[in-house]
Amino acid sequence: MTGKSIGYFRLVEACDGPGCPVCAYLDADSRRQLTTLFEEHVTDVATRRKLRASNGLCNWHTWMALEVRPAVTGVAIVYEDLLRVCHERVRAAGDRRQGRLARLRSWVRDTVGRARRANPAQRDRCAVCVQLRTAEAHCLEAVLRFADDSEFERAYRRSGGLCLPHLLDVAARGAATPGVETIVRRTLATWQAVRGDLGRFVAKHEYRNTEPIGEDEARAYQRAFEILAGGRNIFGNDLREE
């Protein structure tokens, strides 16, 4: 089958790792983008403008930079600029006439509120997240398009299967395509295998059991975490949801 992009081959490669291959793809893509941002785009005017509009990166990608360890000079340049911009905004809000303190409080309240709601209509979204949303869409489209491709079939069977959030997204995107039925069937078979490992893990904790706990059984609850909630950090949390 033709039309296989570099994204497709990265998705196939992600199938060899644990958990949902789309979540793994997005995690790896985040790390690539952060490295590129801080090592190649530090002086790019458009990039800096986007970062200022979103008050930097989201919480997830900000702290991921410590794991990626890009050029620290680039990180320092970007965040000195962001801190300068925020400093000027706070100072300007406090220096205005007619109730300076009230205006400062209003600015802080509005800024924090926008950040918590993460509403793109009120606050620009994290630049890395914006690119990831596009990458995620391409990934899910590739899953549907190549569902019956022999190469992808072999790769998908090796994977941990799609997580529930991504399976639902695939089903919504391709409700009328034959690929949906194929992916759902294979994914449910994988989930059933994890259920079996969980059941055996629980049973082997019974005091009369003498059988050792296998590696897959010991990891089954972590695999269940990812099936139901998706990969770590991919879908965020509900703490600030209103």
Closest to 234 (Cα-Cα) out of 152, 129, 137: 129
pLDDT (0 to 100) of residue 83: 86
Residue 23 identity (one-letter amino acid): C
**CB proximity list for 18: less than 8 A, separation 6 or greater:** 24, 160, 223, 226
| Token reading at 178 | 């034959």
Average pLDDT over residues 228-232: 91
- Please indicate whether residue 50 or residue 105 has the higher confidence score (pLDDT): 50
Closest to 128 (Cα-Cα) out of 41, 10, 43, 67: 41
**CB proximity list for 158: less than 8 A, separation 6 or greater:** 15, 16
Q: Which 3-state string (H, E, C) describes the chain?
A: CCCCCHHHHHHHHHCCCCCCHHHHHHHHHHHHHHHHHHHHCCCCHHHHHHHHHCCCCCHHHHHHHHHHCCCHHHHHHHHHHHHHHHHHHHHHHHHCCCCHHHHHHHHHHHHHHHHHHCCCCCCCCCHHHHHHHHHHHHHHHHHHHCCCCHHHHHHHHHCCCCCHHHHHHHHHHCCCCHHHHHHHHHHHHHHHHHHHHHHHHHHCCCCCCCCCCCHHHHHHHHHHHHHHHCCCCCCCCCCCCC
User: Do residues 70 and 93 lie in contact, with contact meaning Cβ atoms separated by under 8 Å?
Assistant: no
Sorting pLDDT into bands at 50, 70 and 90, what band is 143?
very high
Rounded distance between C-alpha atoms, residue 44 and residue 171, angstroms: 39
What percent of the chain clears pLDDT 70, i.e. is strictly above it?
83
Average pLDDT over residues 220-241: 85
Average pLDDT over residues 108-115: 59
Average pLDDT over residues 104-115: 58
